[in-house]
Structure 1
Amino acid sequence: MPNATERTTSTSAVTLTDVRKTYHRGEPVHALDGIDLTIERGSYTAVMGPSGSGKSTLMNAVGCLDMPTEGSITVNGTEVTTLSDTKRTTLRGDEIGFVFQTFNLMPKLTAKENVALPMVFQGVGKKKRNERASDLLERVGLGDRLDHRPNELSGGQRQRVAIARALANDPAIILADEPTGNLDSETEGRILALFEELHDEGNTIFLVTHERTVAEHAQRIVHLLDGEIERIETVDSPRRMEVGP
């Protein structure tokens, strides 16, 4: 794991160098074909592309959920492709926060317990993790829903719990995979506004979406096609949401 100095001086959250991912299904399928991408600390990046372009494979690579066939992936100054599975799991828990389209909350746990869960695996004491979980839920506007279970929350509330959970271990990067895909337009706006606030506070956001209007909230859009970066588009004036709490 990087020490405190490395965390401070590293300018990139994640760097991919000549990353290739090949699946052998009869003929080889090149899901990623020579990806070079640097995700700067504090940036907001969106990824778009047609079905089969490699979006999910790229997300899994950035999130260290799947290792490349070839190439290098560095997360917060640490080369992850050479780590053991155990060390990679620890790094992923420390450095990467995940937000999924389907929320992926534990149904029998309360909102506070769901947010505290990543801290359990990192060895944080019960008192400290409960305090931080409560603070994070307050931060996302759910301070009055601490003891509610997922089935007692709306879709937007569940996604906010998932975002609070992603922040639990103060990660180097927040990965969001179609985070508004299951939400109505009004709730989508509230979630995008929350991502904007998190980015404004200095968090690094990496978001996969098939919606152009969602991608335009980012500073840049990475366009994928057939496992390659077709182009990287700079968004001169990112969209901003103006919604209440």
Structure 2
Amino acid sequence: MTDRGDAVVLEEVRKTYELGGEPVHALRDVSLRFERGSYTAVMGPSGSGKSTLMNLVGCLDTPTSGRVVVDGADVAALSERERTALRGREIGFVFQTFNLMPRLTAAENVALPMVFQGVPRAERDDRARALLARVGLGERTDHRPNELSGGQRQRVAIARALANDPTLLLADEPTGNLDSETGRDIMAQFAALHREGNTVVVVTHERHVAEHADRIVHLLDGEVEREERVADPRRPAAGGRE
């Protein structure tokens, strides 16, 4: 059963794809809980099921069997439109490749998710600028992505992920396209967001990135190999250095 303290629950989740007429078991009977306000990293080699898990937790896909419950809703029981609405309302995504709209300013990129939620223009403009200030880009609101560094673009992506005040923040290899110093700055942003009470899940293959979390879930061949509690997470202040 789902507890009110859980942002996401997976119960005996299996995900099977057909590839060349043969079944591929991407996830095998995975059961996990992501408590509200928790910070979890998911690690594993290529083919371990990390991307599949993220797609399920992010309501981008549904399980072959088992249950995925996000904010109390059984994802598989929802229509496609309902899943889209749930995803837009409750989940913020941060991708390795930023996925910003090149012709929009930083503020317009951050405001975009609020457009789909019907937020009035004045309110979304104010909130977009406030979120950019929150991630240290208050002076870059009118810059387009090609006028920003990689680290600044990722900060815009983080601000955009927070636009609708989601239940869950999902990050897929958020430092993968950044140099090590800029990557540390981005992880400091996630540390700050977690301190503010956000539920954070980071998918990564890098141990030093995973060690910012409180818990590391290790996947292997579509199964949870083990869970690890991080005794002393790396938690620099936002904008700080490790």
User: For each residue in 1:182-206, what CA deviation from the matched residue of structure 2 results, as whole angstroms up to 9, or x when unmatched?
Assistant: 0001100100001000000000000
Tell me the TM-score normalised to structure 2 length. 0.96
Partner of 2:74: 79
3-state DSSP class of the match of 1:141? coil
Q: Partners of 1:16 and 1:58 in 2: how far apart?
A: 10
Q: Partners of 2:118 and 2:198 in 1: how far apart?
A: 23
Which amino acid in structure 1 is aligned with residue 233 of structure 2?
P
Partner of 1:114: 109
**Percentage of identical aligned residues:** 71
Q: Partners of 2:161 and 2:168 in 1: how far apart?
A: 9
Which amino acid in structure 1 is aligned with residue 42 of structure 2?
V
| Structure 2: gaps (5+ residues) | none
Q: How many residues align?
A: 238
Partner of 2:11: 17
Give the C-alpha shift of residue 241 in structure 1.
2.6
Which amino acid in structure 1 is aligned with residue 92 of structure 2?
G
Tell me the TM-score normalised to structure 1 length. 0.95
Partner of 1:58: 53
Aligned with 1:157 (options 152, 156, 171): 152
Give the C-alpha shift of residue 118 in structure 1.
0.2
Q: Partners of 1:127 and 1:91 in 2: how far apart?
A: 24
Query: Which runs of structure 2 are paired with 1:94-109 in the superposition (5 Å)?
Result: 94-109=89-104
Which amino acid in structure 1 is aligned with residue 14 of structure 2?
R
User: For each residue in 1:48-98, what CA deviation from the matched residue of structure 2 results, as whole angstroms up to 9, or x when unmatched?
Assistant: 001100000000010011111111111111111110000110010000000
Partner of 2:185: 190
Which amino acid in structure 1 is aligned with residue 97 of structure 2?
T
Q: Is the 8 A contact 2:13 2:28 kept in 1?
A: yes
| Structure 1: gaps (5+ residues) | 1-8
Q: Partners of 2:36 and 2:95 in 1: how far apart?
A: 21
Q: Partners of 1:70 and 1:108 in 2: how far apart?
A: 41
Query: Which runs of structure 2 are paired with 1:1-245 in the superposition (5 Å)?
Result: 10-25=4-19, 26-241=21-236, 243-244=239-240
What's the RMSD between the two structures over aligned residues?
1.3
Which amino acid in structure 1 is aligned with residue 16 of structure 2?
T
3-state DSSP class of the match of 2:76? coil
Q: Is the 8 A contact 2:188 2:240 kept in 1?
A: no
Q: Partners of 1:139 and 1:71 in 2: how far apart?
A: 38
3-state DSSP class of the match of 1:81? helix
Q: Partners of 1:197 and 1:35 in 2: how far apart?
A: 29
Q: Partners of 1:191 and 1:244 in 2: how far apart?
A: 10
Q: Partners of 2:127 and 2:4 in 1: how far apart?
A: 26
